[in-house]
Amino acid sequence: MGSTDQAVCVILINVMETLPTAPHTVLLVDDSPAVREAMRWAFENAPDFSVIGEAGDAAEALEQTAMLHPDVVLLDIELPDLDGYAVSRALKAGSSAPIVVFLTVHSDLESQRRGKEAGGDGFAAKGAGWTALITQIRDAMKYPVEAPPSLYEQHKER
């Protein structure tokens, strides 16, 4: 390889490193259409995420996940047909499991423990605000196998 070829390779590598990466895809799961709409709005200001679908119950969440293959599932714990813990266990049993971040009004230690046991990668309180929610999801993306305990406790500090 000549010096010109090497220079071209270096330029191509530099250009590729500056290209934007595709945003992480998100599936929103909550039984409240108003909450899903607010979450979708919050993600419009987060260029590293793209909402690709919504679900209002567990069955729809499992169906949408199988069809759309999102990177992240933002999952309410209280759903009309199954709880979010059962949905998370089902999602994590799949071959290409998404990151699961629980979104809930429950901030007690028991809910957090159950979320971890169900394979959750993060835990965000609905009352913490949308900026905190986006931060929680970004943190969960950094630690997809074993989310640090602070992900389950940060919302108490905010």
145 versus 141: the higher-pLDDT residue is: 141
4: Cβ contacts below 8 Å, ≥ 6 apart:
none
Q: Looking at the predicted structure, is the pLDDT value of residue 34 above 70?
A: yes
Q: Specify the CATH number for 22-153; select among 3.90.1150.10, 3.40.50.2300, 3.90.25.10, 3.40.190.10.
A: 3.40.50.2300
- The alpha-carbon radius of gyration of the chain (Å, integer) is 18
- Return the residue matching tokens 């009004």: 105
C-beta neighbour count of 158 within 10 angstroms: 13
Burial grade of 57 (CB within 10 A; 0-12, 13-18, 19 or more): middle
User: Measured between alpha carbons, how far is 106 from 77 in angstroms, rounded to an integer?
Assistant: 8
24 touches 49 (CB < 8 A): yes
Q: Where are the domains of the chain?
A: 22-153
For residue 65, the model assigns a pLDDT of 97
Q: Looking at the predicted structure, is the pLDDT value of residue 77 above 90?
A: yes
55 versus 10: the higher-pLDDT residue is: 55
Edge-first strand order for the sheet with 122-125 is: 49-55, 24-29, 72-76, 99-104, 122-125
For residue 5, the model assigns a pLDDT of 56
Structure confidence at residue 155 as a pLDDT band (50, 70, 90)? very low
Q: Looking at the predicted structure, is the pLDDT value of residue 18 above 50?
A: no
